[in-house]
Amino acid sequence: MRARRQAYIARTPALRASFFPLPARAEYTVTPNAPKILLLPLALALALSACSRESSAPAAGAEAAKPTLDESALPPVNRFQLADLGEPADACRDLNAYANGKWLAAHPIPGDRTSWGSFEMLAERSLAAQRQLAEQAAADADATGVEKIVGDFWATGMDEAAIERQGIEPLRDRLAAIDALTDTASIAEHLRATAARGENVLFGFGANADFRDSEVNIAYAVQGGLGLPDRSYYFDEAHRDKLAAYQRHVARVLELSGVPAEAAAQQAEAVVAFETRLAGNSRSREELSRDASLMYNPVSLAEADALTPNFPWTRFFESQGVQPPQTFSLAIPAFHQEVDAMLAEVPVEDWKAYLRFHTVDSASPYLSDAFVQANYAFYGKTLRGQQEIEPRWKRALGTLNASVGETLGQLYVEAAFPAESKARMEELVGNLREALKLRLEKLTWMGEETKRKAMAKWETFTPKIGYPDTWRDWSGLETGRDSYIANVLAANEFNYKYDLAKIGKPVDRGEWFMSPQTVNAYYNPQANEIVFPAGILQPPFFDPDADDALNYGGIGAVIGHEMIHGYDDQGSRFGPTGNFENWWTESDAAGFKRLTDRLVAQFDAYEAAPGLHVNGNLTLGENIADLGGLAVAYDALQRAREGQEDPKVDGLTQDQRFFLNWATVWRRNFTPEELKVRLTTDPHAPANFRAIGAPSNLPAYAAAFSCEAGSPMVREGGERIVIW
């Protein structure tokens, strides 16, 4: 999952619009039940957030009562427990089976989810807290500021009767505009007009720090336009059934929108052919995840106009209200050239079918039940194996978080994030930084010249903990109690214009790109910052009352993971100031490549399902971060406990509890369908392999559990991989 997410008008499991794989590197992917979102280029910040509790006060002018939570009504957290352990010998065969096997067998995936484990349980707790806060906001008829926005979204999202009465009516004007299209010029004008509302289905467009000058935001245009998770779904035999199901879904949505059944089937065939042509000139998730340079292709407006004469970028910038720049990044130019060719070559009726489908499909989660059920049936059940649709309250919160998440985040922090958690996290981050410094200094495979530059990058690491120092200003966003989709569309346009306003401006060093209630963390190489929202600072990751072993094996390893992202195969291409630059000598770069190739091979060998292996190259960045992060966290624990006796708990040593809580973090089941999607699209390996992959390379793990040479959890000698 990447960092900031701008809401698009839909809520589907598939990330169907354009996406931008850098700069933010999140610790975990969002759950498949999350809103459909438009991942635009990100403008990310660098400065240390010296946050105080006063930062969580209501926005200026708001006089709302302090939000409160009934802790007794929240679901439990998923802590490490002795009773969950299997047979001791299992520790040397499979750490995941030893730590999590019993728990996983006893906790099947709920019907409204496609995965279940530590993350999901913590997310459920966060959602339950958010529900209480949203209900309080909605109950205040005189609310202003962020409380009014939260209350309006919640009240309209929960008003099923009003949503049913409106049906598809809120989209009539948009569909009429599509019906009126007659030629290439009118289609291009329509694309510009819808983009200006933040509803661009074909490509992502927005602000992000310049790769060559991370102090300034420039515009980026990136590929998009596909309804399936990856280009491979349109070509690979393994996905042929999903492609056929998608075509049926397209026909169903068109029919619901008012197209007669026979015509809807014909148009669906045209839509899939249209997207297949786009996919043929798109880059895969793997390519984009593993080559940051693909996102950076600076061109002048004249050069861009020459590449796409049917879609001149000069006019596009003017239509978006953006001052024409000297240069912008036209990422994946072959994709944009193909769109340009399709404007001239694809029949107008096919364009209209494509635009009609995506307009309705994107809005389906906010329309009447027939649209909602069609959306769930394909994106949830067929594509990912979700057996039941989420209850409305969860879907309403998903929309709220995707559209205006930081408004709810202000209420969440005030009610749910104690100041002592921030203080303890600051201590842990400091200890992890020192442990990483020592590891960098002791590297034997890296020369002194490169090492000095690696240390320079270490010196500029910036941590952000809990919530932003300064909350975003939401004044100007008009919401109400009349229409759910009207609120979503208003927020979408508001967010888009907020993003465009950054183009050509200095990067805001204090901005966050995850809301505080998010159960996640991220690293941003263009700001060289590590960010830990309040939502993840709970067990099994973090517990201010727990012993060091559990906290270092949980959030400590997460902190180390995010730091190591600065030195993974993509983060290592950004320098200390966040600029995209090569700070490696040739020999050190070659040595790094040899080590990472071995890690690719380790994960390539893991079989996730019969005949389906982990993609070691797609998951390389996360695997590097896991390996280095766990090692750094272990070193930090030893420093924190230096000179003290080992306080065994329930007969387990500190080292054993450290590794067992690492595994507890990764207890997770997936539906078979969800697992298949993730193996194609997710830069994270399946959780069970994350549980075992890094520890098997650490001699400390074998020592902790007295594992003999030759045990499956012991990678020996030349087989053992040490990078950072």
Q: List, by residue range, all CATH 3.40.390.10 domains of the chain.
A: 431-461+549-724
pLDDT at 31 over 50: no
Strands 37-38 and 25-26: unpaired
* pLDDT given at position 62: 43
pLDDT at 532 over 90: yes
Question: For residues 534-564, b (16+ Cβ closer than 10 Å) or e, as one string?
Answer: bbbbbbbbbbeebebbbbbbbbbbbbbbbbb
At residue 43 the predicted structure's pLDDT band, cuts being 50, 70 and 90, is very low
pLDDT tens column, 667-710: 999 999 999 999 999 999 999 999 999 999 999 999 999 999 99
Please state which CATH number belongs to domain 1-45+100-107+115-416+474-501.
1.10.1380.10
The C-alpha atoms of residue 296 and residue 333 are separated, in whole angstroms, by 10
Longest dimension (CA), the chain: 79
Dist CA 667 CA 671 (whole Å): 14
The pLDDT value given to residue 418: 87
Query: 419: pLDDT confidence band, cut at 50, 70 and 90?
Result: confident
Contact assessment for residue 14 and residue 228, using Cβ atoms and an 8 Å cutoff: yes
**391 near 112, Cβ under 8 Å?**
yes
* Beta strand pairing call for 462-466 and 529-533: parallel
pLDDT above 70 coverage of the chain, percent: 91
Asked if the model's pLDDT at residue 264 lies above 70, the reply is: yes
- Is 431-461+549-724 a CATH 3.40.50.2300 domain? no
Separation between Cα atoms, residue 107 and residue 116, nearest integer Å: 8
- 482 bridge partner residues: none
DSSP SS3 for 538: coil
Q: What confidence score (pLDDT) does residue 60 get?
A: 39
Residues pairing with 390 in the sheet: none
pLDDT at residue 592 above 50? yes
* Residue appearing with tokens 């100041």: 419
The predicted pLDDT at position 308 comes to 98
Q: What span, in angstroms and rounded, lies between the C-alpha atoms of 519 and 26?
A: 11
Alpha-carbon distance of 435 to 279, in angstroms, equals 45
Closest CA to 172 of 253, 257, 255: 257
Which residues are within 8 A (CB) of 244 and not within 5 positions of it... i.e. 6 or more apart? none
CATH 1.10.1380.10 in the chain, residue ranges: 1-45+100-107+115-416+474-501
Read off the pLDDT of residues 139-196 as tens digits, 9 standing for 90 and up. 998 999 999 999 999 999 999 999 999 999 999 999 999 999 999 999 999 999 999 9
Question: pTM (2 decimals)?
Answer: 0.90
Write down the pLDDT at residue 26. 55
Predicted local confidence at residue 716, as pLDDT: 86
CB-based contacts of 296, cutoff 8 Å, min separation 6 = 211, 212, 329, 331, 580
- Could you tell me which of 220, 218, 238 has the C-alpha nearest to residue 229? 238
Token pair listed for 373: 């059920």
Lowest mean pLDDT of 30-44, 581-595, 647-661, name the range.
30-44
Task: Give strand pairing partners of 37.
Answer: 7
Confidence (pLDDT) at 476:
96
Between the two ends of the chain, the Cα-to-Cα distance in Å is: 23
Do 358 and 190 contact (CB within 8 A), yes or no? no
Q: β-strands 328-330, 213-223: how paired?
A: parallel
Q: Give the residue with greater pLDDT, 567 vs 78.
A: 567
What is the structure's pLDDT at 65? 72
pLDDT, residue 7, reads: 30
Give the containing element (helix H, strand E) for 222: strand 213-223
Higher-confidence position of 23 and 412: 412
Residue 710: CB atoms within 10 A of its CB come to: 8
From residue 141, alpha-carbon distances to 129, 163, 230, 482, 484 in Å are: 21, 21, 44, 14, 17
pLDDT at 64: 53
Nearest to 322 by CA among 220, 211, 215, 186: 220
Secondary structure, 3-state, 635-702: HHHHHHCCCCCCCCECCECHHHHHHHHHHHHCCEEECHHHHHHHHHHCCCCCHHHHHHHCHHHCHHHH
Q: How many helices (H) and strands (E) does the chain have?
A: 28, 14
Instruction: Decide if pLDDT at 55 tops 50.
Output: no
